[in-house]
Amino acid sequence: MPIANKGKTILLVEDEVTLLSALRDKFSREGFTIFEAKNGQEGLNSAFANHPDLILLDIIMPVMDGMTVLKKLRAGDQWGKTVPVIILTNLNEGKKVSESLAYGTDEYLVKSDWKIEDIVKKVKEKLKIEM
């Protein structure tokens, strides 16, 4: 198990249970500590409560969508303004991409176009973890 990832925490905000568990399994095996949330509101609460090192955020979700989470996060405290956020969605629209970039997201990844392994690589890159 890669020791370097020990102690790094990731918040997964994803309403699709099968996708959530795939991400959980993969990132746990990579040695990350995982927080999970099944909708935007849960995600926002968990983010402010746990201060993860990075957030993987879906867009289309019940209760509160990912864009609203991102907005509230960036409008919140100092931590919220700077925590790296990677949008991981299947919504592939230029408008959403530019909107999320404007709110200060770090990456906009389309799930179906990305291998789970490459998502892990992106996260490590963001957290400056040696691969």
Interface ranges with other proteins (CB under 8 A): 16, 18-19, 22-23, 25-26, 29, 60, 90-95, 97, 110-113, 115-117
Nearest-angstrom CA–CA distance, 102 and 83: 15
Closest separation in Å from C-beta 95 to other proteins: 6
Q: Token match 């909708």: residue?
A: 39
Q: Which is nearer to other proteins, 45 or 92 (CB)?
A: 92
Residue 108 has phi, psi (to 5 degrees) of -125, 105
Q: How far is the CB of 79 from other proteins (least distance, A)?
A: 30
Name residue 34's beta-bridge partners. Answer: 10
CB of 51 to other proteins, least distance (A): 27
Identity of the residue, 117 or 125, whose beta carbon is nearer to other proteins in the bound complex = 117
Which residues make beta-bridge pairs with 36? Answer: 12
Minimum Å distance from CB 34 to other proteins? 15
Of the candidates 81, 72, 60, 80, the residue with the CA atom closest to the CA atom of residue 13: 60
* Dihedral of alpha carbons 27, 22, 119, 40, sign: negative
Q: Which is nearer to other proteins, 4 or 116 (CB)?
A: 116
Question: Which residue's CB is nearer to other proteins, number 64 or number 110?
Answer: 110
